[in-house]
Amino acid sequence: MIILPAIDLKKGRCVILTKGEFKSEKIYNEDPINQAEIFYEAGLNNLHIVDLDGALEGNLINLDIIKKIINKFDIKVEVGGGIRNDESISKLIDIGAEKIILGTEAIKDKNFLESSCKKYPKKIALALDVRKNNIAASGWKEQTNINVIDYLNLIKEFGVSRIIYTDIEKDGTNSGPNYNDSYEIANNFEIPLVVSGGISSIKDINKIISENQKIEGIIIGKAIYEKRISLEDLSKIK
């Protein structure tokens, strides 16, 4: 099981949102490089970074911070937020990002997703941010009528290397993830799945590990920052 602690960047700081609402923003660390170091020193070798400013603006805003983190630590970093064109993907590949997460543009333009997967094999991950079974876009501000399962059936042969499934209603709530919908995706599609949103305890993680072997990883944010889950415990998960 891949454990991915989350760093959500807004105005150069680590923040956490609740249910995707930007007005709920809470700052947890003014220095994201320091936060990455905390994770690295704890023995965690994967990191999930979202450029929230980028998601709102539609282009990479916090690239310099992301580059510094990748250069400073021997850690696999996946990056999302505001990646809407090939230039942004190329920039992230060049600085050493392990995976590039496409969201809004992939939802609006399936051809962009397909061509990106072909151009950058095993590098493109797909963010599916879901509210009541339908996909949201543009920093979660835009609610589409696209059903998540229907969309996956359309793109399942494109070569996406990872799906990151987030139940927006669970995100930042510490109420537990959406097990049922996560398992449905994992069981019906061959693309490796990472679960995000609502993880509140080691019990949540162990439940996923014991119940569904097809899930590749788990993203954890608020529960770490509020010390509901210790980094020591996370570092022991294999």
Cβ burial of 25 (10 Å; 0-12, 13-18, 19+) is middle
Is residue 53 among the annotated active site residues? no
Tell me the backbone φ, ψ of residue 203, rounded to 5 degrees: -60, -40
- Catalytic residue chosen out of the listed positions 8, 167, 171, 204: 8
Tens digits of residue pLDDT in 60-101: 999 999 999 999 999 999 999 999 999 999 999 999 999 999
102 bridge partner residues:
126
- What the chain holds in terms of domains, given with CATH numbers, is 2-235 (3.20.20.70)
- Residue 228: Cβ within 10 Å count: 15
- Catalytic residue chosen out of the listed positions 51, 129, 171, 204: 129
pLDDT at 172: 80
Tens digits of residue pLDDT in 12-64: 999 988 877 777 889 999 999 999 999 999 999 999 999 999 988 889 999 99
Tens digits of residue pLDDT in 103-150: 989 999 999 999 999 999 999 999 999 999 999 887 667 788 999 999
Is residue 233 among the annotated active site residues? no
Amino acid at 30: E
